[in-house]
Amino acid sequence: MREEDEWDGGVLGELAPEWADRVVFFEECGSTNDEAMRLGRLGADHFTLVLTERQVAGRGRRGSGWVSPLGEAIACSLILKPEVDSVLWSRFALSAGLAVAEGLESFGVSTEVKWPNDVLVRGKKICGILVEKRDDLVVIGIGVNVNVREFPEELNGVASSLLLESGKRWRREEVLAKILVKLKMRAGQVGGEFEQVKIAWEERCALRGEMVEMRVGGELKSGVVLGLSSGGGLLLEGGEEIIQADLVRRC
């Protein structure tokens, strides 16, 4: 790892001053989501960010793993102690995906969001988000491929990075600072202002107007995507609302 690739908390403080004393940094940890859950339960404040350089047991959705190449990626988790009713908590995943998409747009790439919370550039995944909830806590885990140069063969054509899409290396502090500003705003809109999230999300919706199929429970479902329902589900033509699904893809 080159020196310029190391996290510099001081720089993050300069770039996003209000976050300076809200970041808990671990040189190494298993999963930032686990650390965030642990710290949240121990009393860490709302909007504390857990950030690591080496995440050695990163977790993805549906029980998969998540690899954050050393010095090239962002792996962090935001602790929330929301005041909004827990029936609205699924909206946090959408706000987080939107915030990352908007943050990355500052670096000259055109982003899309794929329900529920993937962020894509030219159809390839550049960020994964894992939202977990327990008692009064929500943890938003974010993994961004910033300066990743290569992916394992099985991710070819599926994953990408800001470096590969923009042709430039970026300072991770700068990328994280842009995302945090958007995240603070969008996470604050999951209550009465959710319509604003919905509009901005739908503008970037990768599958809007397309016929998609997905696995809902044990069943395969298909339909044309209209956008988001007011509850944050995927709205299909005919008015059907999908609350939870796996493997959403074009068909």
Per CB under 6 A, residues contacting ligand BTN are 31-33, 58-61, 64, 66, 68, 75-77, 128-130, 141-143
Given the complex with ligand BTN, which of 78 and 164 has the nearer CB atom?
78
As measured in angstroms, the least distance from the Cβ of 211 to ligand BTN is 23
Tokens representing residue 137 in the block: 């806590």
CB of 215 to ligand BTN, least distance (A): 15
List helix spans (H) across the chain.
9-15, 32-41, 91-105, 162-166, 172-187, 194-203
The nearest distance, CB 93 to ligand BTN, in angstroms, is 10
CB of 241 to ligand BTN, least distance (A): 22
Rounded Cα gap, residues 8 and 177, in angstroms = 12
Question: CB-based burial of residue 8 (10 Å sphere; 0-12 exposed, 13-18 middle, 19+ buried)?
Answer: middle
The answer to whether 183 touches 74, Cβ cutoff 8 Å, is no
**Minimum CB distance to ligand BTN smaller for 101 or for 226:** 101
Q: Least CB distance from residue 237 to ligand BTN, whole Å?
A: 26
Measured between alpha carbons, how far is 32 from 191 in angstroms, rounded to an integer? 26
Complex with ligand BTN: residue 129 or 138, whichever CB lies closer: 129
Q: Which two tokens stand for residue 164?
A: 């590969």
DSSP 230: T
Neighbours of 47 (CB within 10 A): 17
Q: Which is nearer to ligand BTN, 61 or 215 (CB)?
A: 61
Q: What DSSP designation does 2 have?
A: -
Residue with Cβ nearer ligand BTN (66 or 226): 66
